[in-house]
Structure 1
């Protein structure tokens, strides 16, 4: 069960969008301990409409490729986790979870895991590190290379801008 109903979220967002009250004042008025949920609701409603505030009660399973595309989008576009979640229409906490898993376990950690209780009579094995398949290794390498390429392109753009500034500064000194 969710903490806040869809109707309550829509009510608060509409109240904020009318422009008569701030997010912090709304949080105090309705006894919400933090302004961040209201901020997230407003941000999501502005991006996807008020219908996006409807409580989603599905336990959807996402593929490893989808999780990788979310992480890649987050890393390459250099936007917030909230904006990434809004773009893919998923929960911001889900994005954070996948990024954490990826940073600690790599592509292998994003595999689907069997659900349900383990058999009682199964032999207990020591917890071992997940081994990755060739495909997962390639995916990991591709994502790492894309990240390095993005960083290199950013460095190049910064250096070009610096060069242009220096040339502009140098030419303005000659004119004096």
Structure 2
């Protein structure tokens, strides 16, 4: 259950937007603890309207490709979880944080959805069914191997793009440093 009701959140956000106080003042006035929560509500309200303040009861299911796309965006750009959530229309920035952390720890498989619960057991199997299951299993194993290789390739591509961007930024930084040192030596030569 949500700690604060929709009506309460909207009241506080509208007070802020009407100029009745800043985030520190309103956070203290309503006992929010820190003003970061209020800032999140304000950003959500500005981007999504009333829907941004409502606690969603439905569990949104995101595809593996979409999760991977969002993780790639976060890792290759310099945006915060909050900004990326607003950009992608996700109401909960912590969800993106969760995806990124799981991806960094366990790789691509962590982003795949896994069925929960106990596996179904077969009551009775005919010999035809058993041989068919064996054939399907060998096919699934090779497909699984291909999937693992594709996942590894994708992970390496992401890592490669990240390292290229890091190298580019480092080279830019070195060039700026050289320019600064060059301009300071030129000014010293001119003063003599």
Q: Return the TM-score normalized by structure 2.
A: 0.76
Rounded to whole Å, the distance in 1 between the matches of 2:175 and 2:28 is 48
Task: Indicate the RMSD between aligned Cα atoms, in angstroms.
Answer: 2.4
Aligned to 1:97: 98
Instruction: Flag the structure with higher helix content.
Output: 2
Aligned to 1:16: 16
User: If you compute each CA radius of gyration, which structure gives the higher value, 1 or 2?
Assistant: 2
Secondary structure at the counterpart of residue 107 of structure 2: helix
Q: Structure 1 residues 70 and 20 mapped into 2: Cα distance closer, same or farther (>3 Å)?
A: same
Conserved in 2, the CA contact under 8 Å of 1:102 and 1:110?
yes
Conserved in 2, the CA contact under 8 Å of 1:64 and 1:111?
yes
Give runs of ≥4 in structure 1 deviating > 6 Å: none
Rounded to whole Å, the distance in 2 between the matches of 1:120 and 1:109 is 23
Rounded to whole Å, the distance in 1 between the matches of 2:89 and 2:6 is 16
Structure 1: tracts of 5 or more residues without a match:
123-130
Conserved in 2, the CA contact under 8 Å of 1:10 and 1:50?
no
Rounded to whole Å, the distance in 2 between the matches of 1:110 and 1:29 is 41
Aligned to 1:127: none
Counterpart check, 1:43 vs 2:48: no
Aligned to 1:162: 177
Q: Return the TM-score normalized by structure 1.
A: 0.82
